[in-house]
Amino acid sequence: MNSVPGRLVGGLLPVLYAGLASAASQLNFQPPVTRIASENYDLHMLMMYAILVIFCVVYGVMFYSIYAHRKSAGHEAEQFHENTTVELIWTIIPFVILIGMAWPATKTMIAFKDASSPDINYGELIPARPLIDPPLRHLDQRAFRLSELKGKWILLQLDEADCAAACSGKLYNMRQARLAQGHEMERVERVWLILDEAPLQTKLMREYDGMRMLRAAGSPLLGEFSPAGGVRDHIYLIDPLGKLVLRFPKHADPREMQKDLARLLKVSRIG
């Protein structure tokens, strides 16, 4: 293994193993978050189980027939030509399977097209994308990463430490939208990414106790929140998989925020 080809093979093996491991972890869909995604996932699993059963039955019968009815065992072939019973069974079984698979598929497709009662009425949906996870800092300089909150819904805002009126309004709306969830509020975390190194007011820290206040000045994470109006102009929502999915305006109505959040918590199977 000291030769050039040997070193090349030795270097490629870990890469190949990592690639195979990554591929193995992607054999199925990601855990669904919304009602429609859950229905799609259930339909996918139903079809896979149906295909597996059909595969096992068909090939089981075929291999049994090859073994039990082989010529070397002296078996004489039966004649099923123009056998009405066999032909009916052979026609009805695929028809029943087809209807059994088409019915849930049709219901799911109708649900995809039904916009009469959308899940989100107020917030602005964002094409879901995973966020990068650079280190951040608590106010006491302890290291922290957003991935530590994975499995929770995260309401997040960005602003300077002096927290003017618009900033205070966002903090208030986040708190109220979470409190309005009642016994479900433990599924929701609040995060404030502080854009500078200035000290925070003690009154503000007491008023919003329980919120994660994190120093993010210069962090590459800030580039993930860059709408046309600036990062301060929205309250963002991150799903339990760590993906940015939604944003509310900075002067949001907390009642409308609460309704959208409640819908997501109701249909979510994770977080």
DSSP string, 41-84: HHHHHHHHHHHHHHHHHHHHHHHHHHHHT-GGGTPPPP--TT-H
Whole-angstrom Cα distance, residue 41 to residue 31?
8
Residue 205 neighbours by CB under 8 Å, 6+ apart: 139, 213
Q: Is 181 within 8 Å of 162 (Cβ atoms)?
A: no
* Amino acid 220: pLDDT: 93
Tell whether pTM > 0.85: no
Residue 79: per-residue pLDDT: 66
Is CATH 1.10.287 the classification given to domain 35-113? yes
Q: Is 163 helix (H, G, I), strand (E, B) or coil?
A: coil
- The residues spanned by each domain of the chain are 35-113, 124-267
CA 90 remoteness from chain centre: 41
Residue 49 Cα to chain centre, angstroms = 22
Calculate the alpha carbon distances from 159 to 134, 156, 165, 171, 195 in Å.
18, 10, 11, 10, 6
**What is the reported pLDDT for 115?**
45
Which pLDDT score is estimated for 230? 78
CB-side neighbour CA atoms (13 Å) of 249? 5
pLDDT for 105:
78
Choices 1.10.260.40, 3.30.70.100, 3.40.50.300, 3.40.30.10: CATH for 124-267: 3.40.30.10
Q: Return per-residue pLDDT of the chain as tens, 271 residues.
A: 455 445 444 544 444 444 444 444 556 776 665 666 777 778 888 888 888 988 998 899 888 888 887 777 776 766 666 677 877 887 888 888 888 878 877 777 776 655 444 467 788 888 888 999 999 999 999 999 999 999 999 999 999 999 999 999 999 999 999 999 999 999 999 999 999 999 999 999 999 999 999 999 999 999 888 765 578 899 999 999 999 999 998 888 888 999 899 888 887 767 6
